[in-house]
Each structure stands twice: as C-alpha cells, then as structure tokens.
Amino acid sequence: MQAVRLFGVGDLRLTQVAEPQPNPGELVVRVEASGICGTDRHLFLGEFPSTPPVTLGHEFSGIVTAVGDGVDLALGTRVTCDPNIPCLTCPQCLRGRVNLCPNNRPTGVGRDGGFAPFALMPAHNAIALPAGLHPHHGAFCEPLACTLHGLDRAALRPGERCMILGGGVIGLLALQLARSAGAEVMMLTRSRAKQDLALSLGATHVAATPAQALAIWPFGADAVIECAGVADTVQAAPALTATGGRIVILGVLAKGVTVAIEPFDLLFREIQMLYSFLNPFTHARAAQMIASGAVSVAPLISRVLTLSEAVTAITHAAPAGDVRAIVVPQ
C-alpha cells in the first residue's frame, strides 16, 4: 500500500509499505479520514521531535478490518484512535500525567500513523463511533480531545469573557467549547473568512488585531486561549488578559522559539500562564461530543485530499482561510 512517510527533515514522500498485520491486543483500521495538523508541518521542518522513517498522520478514524488475539471489538466497527501510547509505568504515568510520559510513542510521530489506507493500533486506544457518523468527522476527535484538555485547564465559568487567539481548527473548536461553558467569546484572527465562520459558530465578537480586541473589551478577557502557535500571539496574550485572569497556551511553537514576557506584569496582576499538552483522558469525551453533534465539525473541513495531494499540502503553507484539510487514503 502507499503511505506518506517522513524520512528526515525536509524529506517527505509517498512510498510503498507493507499492509500491517495485528499482533495480540492490536487491531487494523481501514483509514477513512486523517487530518493534516500543523504538527505535521513542524515534523517535516524538523521543528518537532519524531523518529523517521515514519508514516505521518495522528488525527484519524476508520473501520476495524482485522483484530489480534484478545481483542473483542467487532470487525466493521467505526473507531477513532487516540494516537498516544504512554508506558503507564513511569513516575508521570503513575501520577496520572500520561500526557507527560517520557516514553510516549505517539502514532504518526514515533510509530506509523494514518496517512495510509490501513493503520495498526493497540485495541485499547480505539474508541467506537456510531456507524452513521459521517466518515470524515471522526478525524476531529484527536484535535477536539487536545482542545478539551486546554479548556479544562482554563476552567471557564459561566458569564466569563474568553478570547481565542487564532482561527484555525483548534481555535474554532475552543470557541465552541467556551460557548458551551457559558462564556462570552471573542475570536482574534486576521482572516475575514475565519471571522465570519467564528460568528456563525457562536462568537459574540471578532477582531483582527489586539488593538481592536481591546477596543471592544478594554479590560481584557478573564481567559485568553492561544491557539495559533505563533510567537506574536503568545507575546500579546498578557496584555489581552484581565487582571486576575489566566492564559492557556494550546498552540505549538517550533522548538527553540523564544518569546519576550514581562514577569513583573504577570506578578503584579497575578496572571496565570498555563500550558496544555496532548489529550490526557479526554479522547473518549471528544468522541462522545463528535458523535452527539455537540460540537460542529462539518464547517471546519476546507479541503478533502488524496494521499499524493497530502504531500504537497504538508510541505507547503496552507492557503488563506484554510481550517482543516482531510486526507482520504482509499
């Protein structure tokens, strides 16, 4: 079968690989949809650690086609796959901080992922989805799970003001979760198309610049959720945060990037600056929200691509207004 494989920094190719076969406790998924994440571009550029050669794709869902011994999940079940495989024995895992496991081998990063017709997964990482769910929608469970962890960290309360920095898929999922928590939400993005999409998904306000945002909310937001993964927005976040508020960094900046922050300002106004990494114990919640329609994902699909088109999409900058490109390997 063909797969999109990373062989080293700047070396991403569509190549032939063998179809996977399940060992005991494993299953094979016929991939229906796999999302292209900003992390995939970081991997290609060498800005995020990986272990090539490896098939990329960590946001995927599909149909179970084969199972190993000891797996009771029925063939034909539609599943979403949690890509993270912590060791469950290290000090972080034993504390319940599985997202911080130093031995984690994430699928699509440290082991072969979903940019291929078939993918191999531990059965306990597969979560069943309704048979009637649109086949493209299960690919949003992983980014939603990561976003849920970030919103858990933000601990929004009804009536608070929440500002989302960045109108990509994480920002637009965070917007919906913040609205569900009862917050008044502003989306900060330069893209007019993404502003319009944010308003359609429940944003109360949109702004193109920090100055415009502060003109609407002069005292800032109780919670600022950074979803763009850009140094400028991380640096701008404290000035957009109300005194006594908190910042959650969800976006992934390239390794080695630094940002100027004034500790005195954070101290004097008691601003919490929090970080959110991966999806500890949130993937099943995300699957339930996707299955129930509690979160709207259909408007977030910008493009549907083949495997060969995926190589170009990962190695080149996304077009203006792009939210999420979905790869359909079959």
Say how far apart CA 14 and CA 4 lie, in whole Å.
Answer: 5
User: Which pLDDT belongs to residue 24?
Assistant: 98
User: Which pLDDT belongs to residue 3?
Assistant: 98
User: Which pLDDT belongs to residue 255?
Assistant: 87
Say how far apart CA 147 and CA 38 lie, in whole Å.
Answer: 14
Say how far apart CA 27 and CA 61 lie, in whole Å.
Answer: 13
Q: Which two tokens stand for residue 271?
A: 């601003």
3-state secondary structure of 172: helix
- Partners of 165 in beta bridges: 188, 226
Find, among 283, 298, 285, the residue nearest to 137 by Cα: 298
CA angle 190, 215, 218 (to 5 degrees): 125
Strands 301-305 and 78-81: unpaired
Determine the residue type at 256: G
- Residue 99 is classified by DSSP as G
179-186 CB contacts, 8 Å cutoff, 24+ apart: 179/203, 180/294, 181/151, 181/156, 181/157, 182/156, 182/157, 182/158, 183/156, 183/157, 183/158, 183/159, 183/222, 183/223, 184/159, 184/160, 185/161, 186/161, 186/162, 186/213, 186/216, 186/217, 186/221
Strands 26-35 and 118-122: antiparallel
C-beta of residue 280 within 8 angstroms of C-beta of residue 255: no
Q: How far apart are the first and last CA of the chain?
A: 10
Domains of the chain, first to last? 2-135+297-327 (3.90.180.10), 147-275 (3.40.50.720)
Say how far apart CA 307 and CA 312 lie, in whole Å.
Answer: 9
The H or E element containing residue 242 is strand 241-249
CB contact set of 141 (below 8 Å; sequence gap of 6+): 59, 61, 80, 127, 129, 283, 286, 287, 290
- Partners of 27 in beta bridges: 67, 121
C-alpha torsion angle, residues 320, 323, 328, 329 (rounded to 10): 70
Each of the 330 residues of the chain gets a pLDDT tens digit; together they read 999 999 999 999 999 999 999 999 999 999 999 999 999 999 999 999 999 999 999 999 999 999 999 999 999 999 999 999 999 999 999 999 999 999 999 999 999 999 999 999 999 999 999 999 999 999 999 999 999 999 999 999 999 999 999 999 999 999 999 999 999 999 999 999 999 999 999 999 999 999 999 999 999 999 999 999 999 999 999 999 999 999 999 999 988 999 999 999 999 999 999 999 999 999 999 999 999 999 999 999 999 999 999 999 999 998 988 999 999 998
Q: Which two tokens stand for residue 13?
A: 């190719």
